[in-house]
Structure 1
Amino acid sequence: MKLNTKISTQVYGCLLLLPAACLLVLFTHYPVLETLKSSFFTTPRGLREAAFVGLENYSMLLEDDVFWQVLCNNAIFSLGTIPVSVALALIMALWVNGKLPAKSWVRAAYFTPTILPMIAVANIWLFFYTPQIGLVDKIVTALGGASHNWLGDPATVLPCLIIMTIWKEAGFFMIFYLAALQAIPPELQEAARVEGAGRWYFFRRVTLPLLMPTTLFVFINATINSFKLVDHLFIMTKGGPDNASSLLLYYIYEVAFSFWDTAYASTLTIVLLALLAVLAITQFVFIERKVHYQ
């Protein structure tokens, strides 16, 4: 009787998971397998069917100078956005979690950029960076500097995009940190105060370790976002000048829909997925060790 009950419970649980599992397979696993398969073939054109070429697309990728430039751009973009966004989100969460006048308004102000569509954000910052009439140029010239084409200079276009992305994402990550801070029992702070522990010591020894699960979650999301945010490139730079601001996902879009080479785009996609998998696993290995007290 107990065995039948246990089997019924397991079947019932599997049936509850079945709709989500079907959607996951249909819209995630199956497209990935099809993309992997497509990367070993040529692009079908007209009456010419796709032909198996093995690792030829991957060999071509290794010799693609634009791919390496784009990959380098994405690495700089990730290193510029992830640590700063996460650190700024934590600082903002600590700030709005304390005793602060008009706390709700400050939280709303920090979170507002998050709810704006990326296209709208790109248009706002496109105006900020416009030479001569933009906000940035107005501030620079008011301080005695010269007008500059911020998005037209290969040396400044990527930092400009990094600043905009940090402004957009920090408020989103702040919400997770704020929720985690409010879940910390107040008794811990009272006990630390009785023991004579200072604010910095309490933050370093108690608050920060308790926030590590949230930090792991935020870091993984920030890493994924740094490789999938391409909306702003369509509005602001189109990957220019001379691919100086092109990122990997935007390059995949160009190859697939501008050059119509879906086979090579599939190869680039597999590389992107593999790269994200490696980064996620690395973060789990190095950060998860500090997620919980042992």
Structure 2
Amino acid sequence: MKQALIYILKVTLTTLLLSLPVTFGIMMAYIKILPIITSNYSANVYLDLKDAAVFIALTFCALLFNMRKINGIAQSVYNKKRIVNNALMVSMAFFMLYLLVFGKLMSLSVDEFVVTYGPSFLTMFICLKVFPLRKEEESVCTDSKSIIVEPFGRLTYNRKDKNWFGVVPNLHPYHNIELSIGTENQDQQIDDKVELVKKLASDYEAIIAKLQYLIFKRFENTNFEKSLDEIKEMYCLVSVDLKSDSKTWWLVMEPDFKVASIYNHYQRFTMMDREIIWANFDIDHYISERMV
């Protein structure tokens, strides 16, 4: 969590320092150009320091909440895009609720609201995007062994879970995926297992089609039904875990950050011999159907 806390402090402290002067400058510019736009005008563009502090505190909490879980075991990779979007939307929503409860929202016109609070929102957004959020290396044991596995790159052995782990390319065509390869011990040869992972990569399209079809069937004939094409846009593979028996695969599909809350959870599957035998939703009556 060290990198996460550094990122959060940089974002919130910088916003705290910049939001007031930026807001003041925009307010002064707005007041000066307003007579040019209309001869009859009145404006209420005073930013309460408490409001700025509340917004920054809400964003701090939202960022911390979104970083509470670290993906991976030996290596942690923060999904900055998801964290930024989720944290900013949540903090703005709660801030609007705060303004509404204390009667500060309805008294402002749209332009007054934008000029008063927009600079703080914009400053926070820029800080969230500009400051880097680096991955964290968290070795379970200081003497953990690392190897280079072609074409997937570096894997690190986790003694607790008895697997080789890494965030690797060459599984998904567009982004890196968490790869775990289970073994009996650190010294066990994994050449055969690596070949199985390579075969999985070559069969990627067919396997993903099965997973997407099952997700499609889950929502079919419900109020939340989506077309198969929409499902393909909504979910992508983020994790592949080959167990020590070299037959069992755990696969995880991640929802896009833009999907509605009803779809916003991970879809988990167990696969053996290229057949899906389990999911974290009921698939028993789909197993016998022909996958497309």
The TM-score by the shorter chain falls in which range? Answer: under 0.3
**Structure with greater contact order relative to length (CA < 8 Å, sep ≥ 6):** 1
Q: Report which of the two has the higher share of helix.
A: 1
Q: Report which of the two has the higher share of strand.
A: 2
For normalisation by structure 1, the TM-score amounts to 0.23
